[in-house]
Every structure is written in structure tokens, then in C-alpha cells.
Chains A and B, each alone.
Chain A
Amino acid sequence: MTIEDIQNEIIDEFSMFDDWEERYQYMIDLGKELPLIDDQYKTDSNIIKGCQSKVWVHAEMKDDKLQFTADSDAIITKGIIAILIRAFSNQHPKDIIDADTSFIDKIGLKEHLSPTRANGLVSMVKQLKMYAIAYQTQLN
């Protein structure tokens, strides 16, 4: 599936929820389910510091596709990470570079991706794209 297809699928899933509580509960559950990152990669060099919650990201290339794993110490942040990873992982670097993240607005989680929220997520998205750019340069 393309990034856009996955994003539309996520938007569809979220459209079933009536209110913020259901959306948040779903995210919290996503956050809990996923053992997102191998402990060996939860290092200081993989950490993205937000004032409020920390995010770790690790990237690896497999068969020309970029694989992301990530984690956070806050569960709502982790839920959003799970969604972002579902959208961006296992894709070609070029597609990741070109992808947009406005689907987060459409599923009612915009406030968490505000640059002033200090939860590390905005930097995380930037970091995903940086990895994609770095690996794309290697491919070229």
C-alpha cells in the first residue's frame, strides 16, 4: 500500500469514533500494544527531546525500504507514534520525503503535532524525513 492509502485507511478508522474519548482510548490502546523499539536502540543518540515527553527513533534499510521503530515514555505520544510508523514505515525513502502529515489533523489529533506542544512528535516527523533523505542520498 502507498503512504496515501494507509493514511486514508487510518482516517476511515478514526471516522467511526463519535467523540474525543473514543479517539483517545483507541490511541492509548495502540500505544500499549506496540513494543515499538528494540531496547538496544533506546540510546541517547536516538532520543528526541521534547520538554514533556521523550521519543526514541531508529531507522534501518531493508530491500530498498526504510523500516522505522520508535518509542516514547508517554502513552498518548506512543499511540501517535504507532500511527505515524504505520503510515511511514516499510516505504521507499523517496515516498517518505514526499509524504505529508495532514492526516493527523483529519483524525482529530492536530494539537499533539503542534510545534509548541513540546512532546517530541514534531521533531520525530522531521527526523523520519531526515532519515529518508539520508538513505535516499545513499541510494542515488
Chain B
Amino acid sequence: MFNVEKIRKDFPILSRKVNGKPLVYFDNAATSQTPQQVIDAIVNYYHNYNANIHRGVHTLSQEATDLYEQSRQKIQKHFHAKFSHEIIFTSGTTHGINLVANGFTSILKKGDDIIVSALEHHSNIVPWQMLCERTGANLKVIPMNNEGELVMSEYEKLLSKNTKLVFVNHISNALGTINPIEYIIEKAHDIGAAVLIDGAQACPHIKPDVQALDVDFYVASAHKMCGPTGVGILYGKEAWLKKLPPYQGGGEMIAEVTFEKTTYADLPHKFEAGTPNIAGGIVFGAAIDYMNNIGFDAIAKYENELLEYATEKLLQIDSLKIYGTAKNKTSVISFNLKGIHPYDVGSILDKLGIAVRTGHHCAQPIMDYYKIPGTIRASFAFYNTKAEIDALVAGVKKAKMMLS
């Protein structure tokens, strides 16, 4: 049984105060909070296993290596990858995207097309722009409609024999839209293009099955899934990962080195140069265990209740407008009060102990589409409550009163 009060006890930070008020944490889309079980896993690693991996004959190094590789297998199972060597540890989603973009430098030619969506995190558009500069490829953008959904008929028009790569996020961080990635992947494969899905916002809510999706690459960050910052994964189909050249040179990624020639290590080590975030990799597994113990079906069901409740309550405030009204969305609400700057509302909510994100959410093109400077974004996790949503609604009303 899903019991939110019991779950909240796992998160020490949820009982702290901010500006004298109980913390209401609604910035989960930026980073999630960490349960005691995951904190314990960090401590356990440093108390008992800390050593460098894949290089020592001593017991500690062997044990740390085993834990790291077990975590990789756990992640493989979670994402339902065919092989554990298809899971590359990265420092996060951004790193995974750059790794793939860099790898495509030797694959793309002048005149090839890369398709991205209008809903992207704008920092994630940059690696593709850089790739286009290096190769002479063109960047094409799938437009969005007023509900914040990608327009599939326009996507189909962009696809051609020149399309080599499609990059779309599974769920938009600014609006919460769940994109039809199954359809996007199928259409791209019809013309022989590869697809990279940014799962940073999806993985806290959904358990993706990379084989069922038939996706070529999928990236995620642990810190949005109750895990630590600075670690994430890139899933890639074996054939693709063999084809891509290594990203960085260094220890771990080589088989043999002479001054004349180096041969690269096998997957996954070819892409894991240098000492990785060992504790992070191991603890990512613990975070996935924690979420699976609660269960992604239960999480999705509960978060959906929170979303519906919050949407209904917020819309009762007149002059409040919600941006992103896709039929298929997660527990993210981006909104504004008419004539009031989101920064002002966010500042007042902060004084009330309520953490929301304000600004353009690194999605400037979306803000430009709606012709607004930004929004207030409340993003809910499975450890939030309706009582906290009531506090948010009261806070927004108070802000409105003070600011109008």
C-alpha cells in the first residue's frame, strides 16, 4: 500500500524549516530529495569499500569493483537493456548527450540533418549546434502547439533521407508534456535515422523499457531519481556503441598503449576514461532499488492525483494561467499570474518556505513561443502531499494580494 506519511519519514530534509516555515519542496524537476536509504548507501560505501576500481588486486578494490558492476547490472535490469555493457556511467544527462553528439562527428556529412524538438532544455541544443558547426549538418526543429505538444505532422515533414539523428526529450522539463517517443522512434527508424531520447525528466516518473522502445540511445541523471548528483547513464545499443569512437582519452578506456598505437578497451570501458564517480555509480543502484520498492505504478498513480488536485485548485485563482496543457503530462505545473512577474511570486513563496522554480527553466524557446519572460514551476514528487499543495495555493493567493 502506498503510504505517503510513511514515505516522508524516509526523507530527513522534509522535516526542516525554511524561513521559519516547514519546507514545501516543489522543485523536484530540478533535483529530487534523497531518502535515508540512499544516504546510508553513500556512508556504507565510504565506511567499508572505498577504493579505486578495475585496477587493484587487493580485496577492497575487488569489492568496490564488484559493487560498481552490480549496480550497472541493476540499472541494466531497470531499463531492460539487453547487455550490461550497453549501460555507460556518465556524470549525468548532459554528459551523455555530449558523448553521443561528439561520436557523431565522424558519422555525419555536410548536408545531413539532425532533428531536435522545440521543447528541449536549451543547454541540450548546444551540443547539436556544435556538432552542426563541426560537420556542416543542419539542425531542424519540431514545432510545438499552444498546449505544449509537439506537432507530429510537422515532424513527419522534416524527416527525409538526409535525417541521420533525432533528439527529443521523453518529458519536457518546463511544461511536463510526455512526448510520443514510441511514434517518434518508429518514424525515424523507417528512414534509417538514429534516435537519442533525453530521459532526465521521465525516469523519476516512468520506468522506460529501452528494448520495447527500440531506442538507439537513452540518457538519464541519478539526481532526479532520489540519487546523488554528478552521476547518470547513457544507454546505447551495442552496435551503436561499437560504432562510435571514444569520447575522452585516459585510464580505463584502453586495452594496450604504445607510443605508436593504442587499442581501446571493450564496452563499456571504452567510454569510461579515468576514475569514475564510484560512490555515485554504486548509490545510483540503491536509489533505483528505493524507487522500485515503492513501485513506479504506485508513484505514477499518486503523482497524477497530486497533479489533478493542484491543477484544479490553482485554476480557481482568477488571473492564473497554466502553460502546458497537454493531455499526456506529468506532475509539473508551469503557471503565471496575469501582469505579475514570476520572480516576484517566487520570492514571496520562498519567504513562506515553498521552493518552486521561477524563470525560463532553460527552455527559452518555449518562453518565446508564449511571449513570456518565464513561469513559476511547481513540480511534484511521490513524497509531496495535498496539504502542501494547499500551502502553495494559499501562498500564491497571498503573493497575488501583495503584488497587485
- Could you tell me which A residues sit within 8 Å of B by CB distance? 20-21, 24-25, 28, 51-54, 73-77, 111-112, 118-119
Contact of A51 among B350, B359, B403 (CB under 8 A): B359
* Contact indicator B341/A74 (Cβ below 8 Å): yes
Assess A118 versus B347: contact at CB under 8 Å? Given A25-B402, A75-B341: no
Chain B residues with CB under 8 A of A28: 344, 402-403
| A-contacting residues, B305-354, CB 8 Å | 340-344, 346-348, 350-351
Chain B residues with CB under 8 A of A20: 19, 351
Distance, CA A26 to CA B402, complexed state (A): 10
For this complex, 19 residue pairs linking A to B, each with C-beta atoms less than 8 Å apart, are: A20-B19, A20-B351, A24-B348, A24-B351, A25-B402, A28-B344, A51-B359, A51-B360, A52-B342, A52-B346, A53-B341, A53-B343, A53-B373, A54-B373, A73-B373, A74-B343, A75-B403, A77-B343, A112-B347
Chain B interface residue number, banded: 10 to 19
Chain A residues with CB under 8 A of B373: 53-54, 73
User: Which single residue of chain A is at the shortest CB-CB distance from B340?
Assistant: A75
Least CB distance, A123 to chain B, in whole angstroms:
15
Distance, CA A54 to CA B359, complexed state (A): 11
Least CB distance, A132 to chain B, in whole angstroms:
27
* Contact indicator B343/A52 (Cβ below 8 Å): yes
* Contact indicator B351/A76 (Cβ below 8 Å): no
Chain A residues with CB under 8 A of B374: 52
Contact of B344 among A25, A75, A118 (CB under 8 A): A75
Q: With an 8 A cutoff between CB atoms, is B358 at the interface?
A: yes
* Contact indicator B403/A118 (Cβ below 8 Å): no
Chain B residues with CB under 8 A of A74: 341, 343-344
User: Which single residue of chain A is at the shortest CB-CB distance from B348?
Assistant: A24
Contact residues of A: prevailing secondary structure: helix
Chain A residues with CB under 8 A of B347: 24, 76, 112
Least CB distance, B339 to chain A, in whole angstroms:
10
Contact of A73 among B341, B348, B351, B359 (CB under 8 A): B341
Least CB distance, B372 to chain A, in whole angstroms:
11
Distance, CA A118 to CA B359, complexed state (A): 10
Chain A residues with CB under 8 A of B359: 51-52, 118
Least CB distance, B157 to chain A, in whole angstroms:
34
Least CB distance, B54 to chain A, in whole angstroms:
38
* Contact indicator B344/A76 (Cβ below 8 Å): yes
A20, A28, A74, A112, most chain B CB atoms within 10 A: A74
Assess A119 versus B343: contact at CB under 8 Å? Given A24-B348, A51-B359: yes
User: Which single residue of chain A is at the shortest CB-CB distance from B373?
Assistant: A73
Chain B residues with CB under 8 A of A119: 343
B344, B350, B351, most chain A CB atoms within 10 A: B344
Closest 7 CB pairs of A and B: A74-B341, A74-B343, A52-B343, A53-B343, A52-B359, A76-B344, A74-B344
Chain B residues with CB under 8 A of A51: 359-360
Chain B residues with CB under 8 A of A118: 359
Bits for B340-383, please: 1 = Cβ < 8 Å to A, else 0: 11111011101100000011100000000000011000000000
